[in-house]
């Protein structure tokens, strides 16, 4: 059996390892790319050996990393629970733009945008739609939602998207079924670079990862939306660096993607999967959401 301590000791001869948030988890500058922000994650925990660079995509396990660095590892390859690497090999597009390296250009809301106003008759259809989803008025106001009567976003509820205090983009959601596409982003907004509700949820120790903005409205203090059903490399690193624990809560039919996200996060942080049985988080009751969180499970068998 491989000795995690010994592996760590050997790797330290080559890399300047900084402790991560869990025992056996480390960060280092990646020796295989021009990374200077400690984006190489190393997990030397029993049952969970993984190495991944969130900049260049280098993947492996601590023993293969040691060999790639020119070191020797005579023991048995400690990969008795190997992370499936193909789930990590994403396109380089993900690495090209990241919020911290390339701050988003200043963005402003569309000219036609007006803050949702309960007294406004022209906003009635928007309010009716929101009421049909059962969200509290305070929540709607806290997220600064608006509505567009004209222009490219006409007939859409518009959600401003902030990151570190700055408006980086917005998303419009059609309220009529026949208005396509259902979702529309502001020009040049790279959804895979951001987590919706990051600024609010970053104060929590646990994050609940959901698909869309309406899902987040059900759990506004501690959830983020990924604008889809997969985590990009940028979003993955952001989650690992920001929170101690993650709970993946996708729509009930997205089990395969929940599994993929679990595999990406679990070597580097406490990760659980919450399963809703009836419908997506945005349409579930508080009782259903709380019950799913309470019974969220670690799915380590998914890694095999």
Q: Which C-beta is closer to Zn ion: that of 31 or that of 71?
A: 31
| Contact between 98 and Zn ion per CB under 5 A | no
The answer to whether the beta carbons of residues 290 and 247 sit under 8 Å apart is no
User: In a 10 Å sphere around its CB, with 0-12 CB exposed, 13-18 middle and 19+ buried, how is residue 256 labelled?
Assistant: exposed
Residue from the set 2, 7, 30, 292 that interacts with Zn ion by CB under 5 A:
30
| Contact between 55 and Zn ion per CB under 5 A | yes
| Contact between 33 and Zn ion per CB under 5 A | yes
The answer to whether the beta carbons of residues 209 and 231 sit under 8 Å apart is yes
Using CB under 5 A, count the residues that bind Zn ion: 8
Stretch binding Zn ion (CB under 5 A), from 26-34, 78-86, 199-207, 235-243: 26-34
Q: Which C-beta is closer to Zn ion: that of 54 or that of 227?
A: 54
Stretch binding Zn ion (CB under 5 A), from 47-55, 94-102, 124-132, 185-193: 47-55
| Min dist. Cβ of residue 180 to Zn ion (A) | 40
Cα–Cα distance, 42 to 61 (Å, whole number): 8
Closest CA to 214 of 245, 189, 247, 251: 251
| Min dist. Cβ of residue 60 to Zn ion (A) | 11
Q: Which C-beta is closer to Zn ion: that of 53 or that of 274?
A: 53
| Contact between 167 and Zn ion per CB under 5 A | no
Residue from the set 7, 15, 51, 53 that interacts with Zn ion by CB under 5 A:
53
| Min dist. Cβ of residue 231 to Zn ion (A) | 18
The answer to whether the beta carbons of residues 116 and 146 sit under 8 Å apart is yes
Q: Which C-beta is closer to Zn ion: that of 169 or that of 267?
A: 267
Enumerate binding residues for Zn ion (CB under 5 A): 30, 32-33, 35, 53, 55-56, 58
């Amino acid at each position: 059996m491989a000795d995690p301590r010994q592996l760590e000791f050997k790797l330290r001869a080559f890399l300047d390892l900084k402790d991560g948030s869990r025992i056996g988890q480390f960060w280092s500058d990646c020796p295989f790319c021009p990374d200077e922000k400690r984006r190489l994650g190393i997990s030397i925990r029993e049952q969970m050996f993984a190495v991944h660079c969130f900049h260049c995509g280098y993947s492996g396990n601590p023993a293969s990393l040691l060999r790639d660095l020119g070191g020797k590892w005579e023991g048995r390859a400690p990969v008795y629970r190997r992370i499936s690497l193909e789930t990590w090999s994403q396109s380089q597009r993900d690495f090209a733009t990241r919020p911290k390296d390339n701050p988003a250009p200043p963005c402003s809301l569309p000219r036609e945008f007006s803050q949702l106003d309960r007294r406004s008759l022209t906003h009635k259809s928007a309010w009716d739609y929101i009421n049909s989803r059962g969200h509290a008025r305070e929540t709607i106001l806290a997220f600064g939602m608006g509505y567009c009567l004209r222009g490219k976003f006409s007939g859409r509820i518009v959600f401003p998207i902030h990151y570190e205090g700055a408006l980086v983009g917005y998303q419009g959601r059609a309220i009529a079924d026949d208005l396509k596409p259902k979702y529309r982003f502001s020009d040049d907004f790279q959804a895979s670079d951001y987590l919706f509700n990051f600024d609010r949820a970053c104060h929590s120790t646990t994050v609940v990862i959901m698909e869309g903005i309406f899902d987040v409205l059900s759990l506004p203090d501690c959830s983020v939306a990924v604008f889809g059903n997969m985590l990009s490399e940028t979003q993955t690193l952001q989650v690992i660096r920001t929170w101690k624990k993650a709970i993946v809560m996708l729509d009930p039919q997205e089990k395969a993607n929940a599994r993929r996200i679990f595999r990406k996060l679990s070597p580097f942080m406490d990760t659980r999967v919450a399963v809703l049985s009836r419908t997506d988080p945005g349409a579930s009751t508080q009782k259903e959401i709380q019950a799913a969180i309470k019974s969220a499970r670690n799915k380590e068998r998914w890694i095999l």
